Amino acid sequence: MKRDRDTTAIFVSMSEENAVQSPNFDKLIPYDAAHLILGEYFNYYHQFKSITRRAEIRFEACDWHGLMSDARERITLYRDCVGGATEKVLILLGERAQDREVWKATFKNFSFDIKNFNTRNIAETFYNSVFRHSHQGLGADEDLMFVHATATYREFKSTEPIYHSFKSKSNLRTLLRYIAEEYSMDVPWKNLDRNLDLLEGQFIEELEERNLLGKEFRVEMLKSVFYRNKGAYIVGRLLGPKSVHPLVLPLLNGPGGIVIDALLMDDRDVSSIFSYNRSYFLVDVDIASEIVDFLHSILPTKPLSELYNSIGFEKHGKTVFYRNLLRHLAATDEKMIIAPGIKGMVMSVFTLPSFGMVFKVIKDRFAPPKDSTQEQVKEKYKIVNLHHRVGRMVDSHVFENLDLESHQLSDAVREEMQEFAPSKLLESEGKSCFTHLYVEKRMIPLNIYLEGANLTEAEEVIDEYGKAIKQMAAVNIFPGDMLLKNFGVTRLKRVVFYDYDEIGFLTDYNFRRIPEPRDEFEEMSSEPYYHVGPMDIFPEEFPRFLIGDPQIRAIFHRLHGDLYDVAFWRGMQKKLINGEIIDVFPYRDSRRLSM
């Protein structure tokens, strides 16, 4: 027995010596965090595509309200998914949530896991968003974020072409029929033969204008159809012997079926369709970088950031824009200056002379008669982002904690910020941090443009000005402050609204006629002799303050005098209240085929 007890004791002693400590798997926490964010990205991307794929069904059913609702839902989807992912990763990390080394390891694990993803660039932006939401008040951090591109992203290609290819060896009519047949839907074509007759005639004119008639060429049309508002767009390009031309076929669905409404090969028309002033397309995309490269081949002057925006990846468009801004700042000695134009009461606006954007900062306080708050102004920008912009309201990127080198600000900008928005500019150790700002495309303010315009040019943009007001009204937007200084003229001479602090929904306003004075005292009164509510609008007063120059005012009255009549506004309200969606085409009426 003694021997047995000794043997047991020896065995126990040896076991204790050779025992392996229970492993500590805390090193895997960064991997788990990276995997969690990646899983949330997959969830976001799946929902993004699911919403997008509903567009064809909506179009076939003429469910225009549903289609526009989907467009808004897809924009808010990103914010919701990033918010959910942030909450989950903070719970997972717990007290490690602000540990820099943990996030370094998380960043490294995430980078490794997405290295061969064909949507790697979009995943990087999603990670950046989650990181920024997890670290409120922090600017860009090159060690913990995808600040710079990690590749060209052109290494990712579909296993088969993303476009249908058609050669011109057959006659034009046959070629056009082949294209139409590739895009047949569950709704019939309306009088396709007649439609193709008109399309062929227009196509011949376009080929003659480009000296391509009778020559061999190839047509490549993207397989994915682009949907927005009440239209669908077949987007492609015509490749001549030495040239590339855009080729876009807008489709409409109405009584009797689907028609091809136009043939668009003019750069101006196609650029306008993909404009930063328009809402994003719903288009089914597998590899975003590949379809953006295709679009860039037909729109070479458009920044890649705008093209990402146009297909619904607005946050990655912001990433691409930011990287472009960093490259520009590194290559120039220019300083940011105050933007030309009449200073606003709500925003301080700056620009870089060689960079076609403006930077807008909400002032800390507004001078009378402005009585809105900063939060209300921010809410107006959110409304514009979600609304159908109909080519008349400029898109914008919102930046929190944008860091610049202090020497990149002019003294005038720094003085403007110190006087009007000191809380929005933090400076330390050679850095200037804008805590909140909007970045928009730079345009020529309409009032400044008119100062140097001849009568022909003035009539063109004043007509555009009236159309801008009417088209915003058609989508239930009343601009509030319609002064010329709040509108800009684009490169294509399109007039666009960009001052949002007083916009509202048209149906919320009360458009009234000025009542007749009851006696001479009321008639001679310098103050209104009638009650004016906060939402009351009197169109009869517009001629007094909209346009000062009598010659310009006369042009506007001739072209758009109906805007002075309460009947126009009430009639538009009635249509909107009845649920009517008013047609506003993103291309010129002269381009439309007459059926």
Q: How far apart are CA 502 and CA 499, in angstroms?
A: 8
Considering only CA atoms, which of 271, 249, 272, 252 is closest in space to residue 262?
Answer: 249
Which strand ranges, in their side-by-side order, compose the sheet holding 487-489? 444-445, 487-489, 495-497
Q: Which two tokens stand for residue 360?
A: 């807008």
Furthest C-alpha separation in the chain: 129
Per DSSP, the residues of 381-392 read HHHHHHS--TTT
- Among the listed residues 70, 269, 395, 499, the single catalytic one is 395
Tokens for 436, please give them: 């909140």
Q: Quick check: 446 and 487 in contact, CB under 8 A?
A: yes
C-alpha span between 441 and 124 (Å, rounded):
25
Residue 210 and residue 243 in contact, taking contact as beta carbons nearer than 8 Å? yes
Nearest CA to 121 out of 292, 303, 276, 310 is that of 292
Chain center to CA of 507: 25
Q: Is 261 a catalytic residue?
A: no
AA letter at 184: S
Which residues is 488 bridged to in the sheet?
445, 496
| Cα-based distances in Å from 187 to 60, 224, 354 | 6, 17, 49
Name the token pair of 130: 């989650």
Q: Tokens 């159809």 sit at which residue?
A: 225
Query: What positions carry a catalytic annotation?
Result: 395
